[in-house]
Structures are given as C-alpha cells and as structure tokens.
Amino acid sequence: MIIIAEKLNGTIPSMAKAIAGRDEEWIKDIARKEAADGAAFIDVCASVEVGEVETLHWMIDLVQSVTDVPISIDSPSTEVLAETYKFCKKPGLFNSVSMESKKHIDSIFKIMAENPGWEVIAMLCDDTGIPKSAADRLRVFDNIMKKAEEYGIDPSRIHIDPIIEAAALMDPDREDGPGITINTKVIDAIRAKYPTIHITSAISNISHGLPARKYMNYAFASLVLSHGLDSGILDPLNHGMHAIIDTTEKMLKLSDAEMQKIVGAVKEQTLEDVELPLPDGDFTPEEARKYAEMSATILAMKELQMTVEDLEPDEEDRDIQGVSYAAEALLGLDEDGYCMSYIEAYKDDLFGVPKK
C-alpha cells in the first residue's frame, strides 16, 4: 500500500498546539519517524484560520529539512494548494480536489499538466454533497476522469477517494445495501475500468464514534485491500496497522488453493494448524502470528459471508473477537445495523482493549 502519513495535521490537538507554538523540533521529529516507518508521502495540513499559506510554507520547509519523502499538501482550498506546491523541492501529492465548484479542479489539473511528477487525491463529491449511492459517486468519478483526459493527466497520477463514512452512521437500509457495500461497489467499478489508477481512503474515518477503534480500522483496511484499494491516509507509526496491511496483501497474492485452505481452516476453527504469511517488522513470533490470524479471519468472513455466530470465535481470543465483530458490521451482516453488535460486544468486555 502507498502510505500517506497523516500525523502532521493541525486538526489533531497535539499537532495544533505544536503549530501554534512553532515547535519546530516536534514537527521535524514526527516527519523523521513517518519517513522511517514507510511513508510514501508525508501529508502536511496546517488547519489554521489565518495565514494558511505561510504556515504550510513553514511546515513544508521543516519536513524537507529532515527527509526527502514527497509532500502531500493538504488544504480544503485549491487556491492554497496552487500557491504552496511551489515550496516543495520535488513533486508530491495535492490533497485534494473534487467536482465541487469551489474546489477549482481545473486549476490543479492545469498545474499537473505543466508539472508531470505531481499526483492528486480526487474525492467523489460535487455541489450536491456526498452522493448517497454508488451510481451517483461513479457519475462524479466519470466527470473527474473527463477533466483528467482534457488536461492529459494519466490515471496513474490520480488517487480516487470514494469517501468513507463512519460505520456507526451507515444506514443498513440504504440503496446499495448495508455496511461498506457502497464503497466496495465503487472501488470494484473503478478498478475494473482503470487498472492503473490509485484508490485511497482515510482509513481511520471508518471508526469515528466507536470504541476499540483499532479493530474496526483493521477490518476495514483488510476488506478494502481485497477490493483493490492500494493507497491509504494513515498513521505509519501504527505498527499493528502495518502488520494487518502486510499480511492481507500477502494473502491476496496466494493461489486460490492456498487461500481456500486458509478460509476452510477459519470456518472449521483449525487455523492454528495452517501456515500463514507473516508480517515483516519487529514483531515477536506470537505477535506476528496473531496479526496473520486476524487478517485471515477478516478475509474468510468476507469470502463466506460469515457472521460472528457462524464463526464462534474463542471467547478468550479477544483480538479475533474484535476483528470478527468489526468485519460483521462492515460486511453488513449485523442485523440491527449501525454497528450495534460490535458496540454490545465491547460493552460485554469481549475485546482486548480497556474500557474508558
């Protein structure tokens, strides 16, 4: 996965404090760590009411003083993006454009036409807001691609954001079905039409408002990777997420026979007897195996459309419990919707995280 590192963002309270206090060493330290932990781009978002261009210039200079990882310039204003890309020493990523008239997609695509190395995140929304159906999001996508063709922007330079909404707010009775069905329909359609395009998401958006957020984030990452997502805005310092991404990507490269053996083992509760691809990184053997088992469980539940009741996970294995309830909710298999079974499982102390 192409990792767009998210921590240098002024919407995060600790980062807002560092920006307001002009804490250069704090910002440089995070940039160093993000670069060391695999960031392909380092997102820089000032999120200030006054002096956004000047603040972004300051932040970009700090990042570039400690790493040569490309910058993702993050602002709701395309005018700010058009001004601040000039401060970058090498091509990076514009975050973001859409078909909203206030976004001025033409101005960014014109810059990209003149600066071939730059890439862009394009969100599937327009002046009607966030479309409520997959068909309408794909309509916005087609309009974005018409603009890209007009300016000669190759699909490989575009990261499409299908817009992930919080799972707790997903209406189980909506047009495209429950869970993340709307997103997977959009991703599948885009991936089939444009094999070289990138598809991205702010991974942690899925878990807003929920407890034990890591399980929902893990399950979401694994599921959307299986549909073709190849780019993500996330915390590269989160080694658990790294492990889930790594093991999921490795499983998706297995032969059908190898993957079916894993799926069957999850179903028959004999996963401990099956060899699994393990994540790279500084993990103990037990930790590595656990992340692999979580990824295997999520993918098997998708393949078989299994509920937690079908799976009957070991109540002592709280990590598997966590991702199982999360996968059930995201797959739309929770009869009540709105992640109610997930929330109740957390309340019943079935997850491996302390209650707040």
Give domain status of residue 92, yes or no: no
Give domain status of residue 350, yes or no: yes
Give me the residues paired with residue 231 across strands.
2
Give domain status of residue 309, yes or no: yes
What gap in Å lies between CA 342 and CA 328, rounded to an integer? 8
Q: What is the pTM of this model?
A: 0.96
Q: What is residue 153's predicted lDDT score, i.e. its pLDDT?
A: 98
Q: How far is residue 155 CA from its own chain's centroid?
A: 19
Give domain status of residue 48, yes or no: no
**pLDDT tens, 177-217?**
999 999 999 999 999 999 999 999 999 999 999 999 999 99
Give domain status of residue 234, yes or no: no
Residues 6+ apart with CB under 8 A from 43: 4, 5, 6, 8, 9, 71, 72, 74, 93, 95, 233
Domain count across the chain: 1
The domain containing residue 330 runs over which residues? 239-356
What gap in Å lies between CA 340 and CA 343, rounded to an integer? 5
Give domain status of residue 155, yes or no: no
DSSP 306: -
Residue 38 and residue 7 in contact, taking contact as beta carbons nearer than 8 Å: no
**pLDDT tens, 293-338?**
999 999 999 999 999 999 999 989 999 999 999 999 999 999 899 9
What gap in Å lies between CA 249 and CA 222, rounded to an integer? 8
